[in-house]
Structure 1
Amino acid sequence: MMVSFILILLWVAMYRRLWRNQGDLSIGGICQEGSFAHTLYMYVNTVLGKSLQAMEARKLEKLLRQVQSEFGFQIRSWNLVKHIADSSLVARIIAKDGKSYMLKSLFIPAERQRFIVESERRLAQEGVKLARPISTLSKHPFILYNETPYVLYEWIKGKTGQLRDRSDLVALTQVMARLHRRSVRVVYPDDIMPYEHVRWEKEYRDRIDSLKSWAQSHQTPSSPQESMIQRYLPFFEHVAEVALEQLLASDYDNYMNGQVAAKCLIHGDFHQKNLIKHKGQWVLIDFEDVRYDFPSKDLLRLYSMYTRFHPFDTKTFNSMMETYFRHHPLPAGAKRLMLTDFLFPHIVERTLRKQVYASMKTEMLKHWLKQEKRKAMYVSLILSHKQWH
């Protein structure tokens, strides 16, 4: 009996480490409160959690001493907000003078981190509200610890955004449009290498191949979800090919080569959780995917988050697009190119490639596929009119 109990403890401990490595310590859906499993988990969490926190503290001790030395303040307290091994680390630091900071590392090359920080600084100079990076005493944009860059940011206090209804979507679209408009004025020093998204022709072709590959490898569906996708996939493969044709006939190269002012800096992960309401204003955080691209990439990201819980309707879609163009006017050809990117089934391809559908209930998947199809049909209709109304 004792051996079995010890084995259970070890099993829970092992999975606790896995949850920690994934940055998710929640037990919702795993152990119901009041159950034996929940009691056992909480026991292990208490006993082993303290030792794990102590191990993390020891690992971070040298890093925090370096932070104090290079930024010139004494640390009163700190807590680990997020830590995914070799992926990201976020810690909140409170200095002895009471100021709060965020220490962050993405475990990326210094060159890429330098572009991110320089983008944040120059966007802030253009009036974009964001969490500002803080330079070291020697004016460096970050510190290097074990050859990994760590950036110190001001801590932004407030509530994250929401996407409850159309008004929320429109409000966040305004923030995005202003970001893009102001980013056009950003100029980098010669020693900063700008980062750009992969060219769309390659992206479209790769994703079309991905859709075809999924269809080929799932000719015999093994689940109701796969059967459902097979019914809709021919439609999405068709609109992907149509979008590629539209792209090849567009002025995409002129826009991306700077001959027409439409290329801008995009956030790369623009959604409600990356905006914080601070002193009555929206403040952007997490620019880790910032790069030069076309505005549709941010708009697609935000809209995909909205449509997770809302059905497609033309009024909402039109309101979003019209709001964007009102705050960031673009040439007619650029508007058409944005719609082309909305026509391409990016979200569908990603859902298949990442196998997100496997955890979706069949009815939910069916509803979502219907909404994606309705969106594509509506965008196709707009493109057939040759202009945006």
Structure 2
Amino acid sequence: MINHKVFWGDKVVKKLRESIKKEYGFKVHNMKRIPTPKNTSVYRLQTDRGTYILKSIHTSKRRQLFILEAEDYLRNQGISIPEVIPTKRGTPYFLWKQSLYILQRFCHGKPANLRSPKGVKQAGKLLGKMHRVSLGFHSTHRALYVGARDWIQEYEDDLLAIKNWKKRNSSNRTPKIKAILSYIRFFLSSGKTACDLLHRNSFFLKWKGLPAHEHFLCHGDFHPRNFLVDRSATTIIDWEDVRYDFPSKDMFRLVDNIIELDSKWSKAKFSLLLSAYLIENPLTDQQKSLLFLDMAFPHVFERFLRKKIYHRMSLSQVKRFLRREKQKTKDMLERAVSYLFLFDANSCMALSPMI
């Protein structure tokens, strides 16, 4: 069993530094913990051989090995990912207090500027290339990390969660809750439409059954702080959530960041992002339809409710969030249906009163 609870007192840190010296043969001058919201311990190390990042992901050994395999495959395909430093024994990690630790080169660079057209295109091209070259990745643990099998259940669970939130708060008359309730029917309706279309989508059913190596790898947390721009390269970091899945899972995370920065939904900016993406990873019409369909589902809205993000927002911010999510959802659903008509018009006709 991996021990996920480590007390980080001075004595413990000292012993960890001694273990690093033993495993890698260099002396740690300074060791600073980097705050992270994830279930991960991250340290920046100043050593007699340069600067490194020490990381322990509190997960199973099997999961950690899958992450290392994915990183290594993508690195060999030309994606810039921090190098993993082997121990003196040649292993990519060492075990300390029943937790796995890996050491990586420290990566220089700044987050991409998603406010600028140049930054948006840069992010789109990087994501497109990463997805394209990830096809063909084989893992000894592939069956455990295929997201496709969870889509239907995820949609149904999220819709139920939204309905339950509505039921719990239906009599709440505070301004922010009233604002959310005024939009909730729209998100439930669009979510149900997306779910019904997914059930009927012949391409989705085919894609879901493909072997893992024919699925794309998704980073799982693709936002500007996780891809760092330097003069020589743009490096993608923090692969803790990597899995086999569909490009929409990374795309809507990126789009969510763009919307937050701009405080609005912009069709023009999304088209710029998508065009840059498709240069590197041309998608078929069927793939585009599934991309838009997944992005039309109210994933972000469900998280907004579940995490109670509205508590940290003013009333005007809540209203602005709701407006832009509605605009994005309508746009994505229209795009999905326009492509569906090209190869699955019957499904669209059956749902036309709902769209």
Match of 1:333 in 2: 286
CA contact (8 A) 1:262 1:334 kept: no
Tell me, in whole angstroms, the C-alpha distance in 2 between the residues paired with 1:261 and 1:106.
Answer: 24
2:351 is matched with none
Structure-to-structure mapping, 1:305-320, within 5 angstroms: 305-310=257-262, 311-320=264-273
Instruction: Assess if the C-alpha contact under 8 Å between 2:82 and 2:237 holds in 1.
Output: yes
- Kindly indicate whether the alpha-carbon contact (under 8 Å) linking 2:131 and 2:247 is maintained by their aligned counterparts in 1: yes
Q: Secondary structure of 2:89's match?
A: coil
1:299 equivalent to 2:215? Answer no
Q: Which amino acid aligns with 1:377?
A: K
How many Å apart are 1:93 and its aligned residue? Answer: 1.4
Matched, 1:177 2:106: no
Deviation at 1:261, TM superposition (A): 8.4
* Aligned equivalent of 1:195, options 137, 142, 145: 145
1:365 to 299, 302, 318: 318
Residue 82 (str. 1) matches residue 32 (str. 2) = no
- Specify whether residues 192 and 132 from structure 1 end up closer, same or farther in structure 2 by C-alpha distance, changes over 3 A only: farther
- Give the CA deviation at 1:76: 3.0
Match of residue 108 from structure 2: 157
SS at match of 1:307: helix
Q: Does 1:263 align with 2:222?
A: no
- Give structure 1 regions of 4+ aligned residues with deviation exceeding 4 angstroms: 191-194, 259-262
Report the TM-score when normalising by structure 2: 0.88
Equivalence for 1:374: 327
Match of 1:70 in 2: 23
1:290-344 Cα shifts (integer Å, max 9, x gaps): 0110010000000001101321122112222222222101221111000000110
Residue 45 of structure 1 corresponds to which residue in structure 2? none
Greater shift in the superposed pair: 374-383 or 231-240: 374-383
Instruction: Report whether the alignment pairs 1:130 with 2:88.
Output: no
Cα deviation 1:95-125 (Å, max 9, x = unaligned): 213x211001122111111111121111101
Are the aligned partners of 1:262 and 1:330 in contact in 2 as well (CA < 8 Å)? no
- Secondary structure at the counterpart of residue 234 of structure 2: strand
Q: What whole-Å deviation, never above 9, does each CA across 1:45-102 have from its counterpart, x for those lacking one?
A: xxxxxxx9xx733211111211111223232332222377x932111112213x2110
Q: Report the 3-state secondary structure (helix = DSSP H, G, I; strand = E; otherwise coil) of the residue aligned with 2:186.
A: helix
Q: Is the radius of gyration larger for structure 1 or structure 2? A: 1
**Which deviates the most, 231-240 or 197-206?**
197-206
Deviation at 1:222, TM superposition (A): 4.5
Give the counterpart of 1:116 among 59, 67, 70. Answer: 67
After TM superposition, give the deviation of residue 357 of structure 1 in Å.
0.8
What one-letter code is carried by the residue in structure 2 that aligns with 1:337? L
Counterpart CA distance in 2 for 1:205 and 1:306 is 27
User: CA-to-partner distance for each residue in 1:247-287, whole Å, 9 max, x for gaps?
Assistant: 11112132133279862111000000111123332101100
Change over 3 Å in CA distance of 1:184–1:200 after alignment to 2: same
Q: Does the 8 Å CA contact 1:103/1:150 hold for their aligned counterparts? A: yes
Checking the alignment, whether the CA contact within 8 Å between 1:123 and 1:182 is kept in structure 2 is yes
RMSD: 2.3
Which residue type is aligned with residue 94 of structure 1? Q
Q: Aligned partners of 1:119, 1:353: CA distance in 2, in Å?
A: 30
Distance 1:266 1:149, change over 3 A: same
Deviations 1:134-153 (A, max 9, x none): 22222222111111111111
Q: Classify the secondary structure of the residue corresponding to 1:316.
A: helix
The one-letter code matched in structure 2 to 1:236 is F
> Hey, what does 1:237 align to over in structure 2?
188
More relative contact order, 1 or 2 (CA 8 Å, 6+ apart): 2
Q: Where does the alignment leave 5 or more consecutive residues of structure 1 unmatched?
A: 1-51
Once structures 1 and 2 are overlaid, which stretch shifts more, 219-228 or 237-246? 219-228
- 2:126 touches 2:277 (CA, 8 Å); kept in 1? no
Query: Match of 1:133, SS?
Result: coil
What is the identity percentage for the equivalent residue pairs of Structure 1 and Structure 2?
A: 27
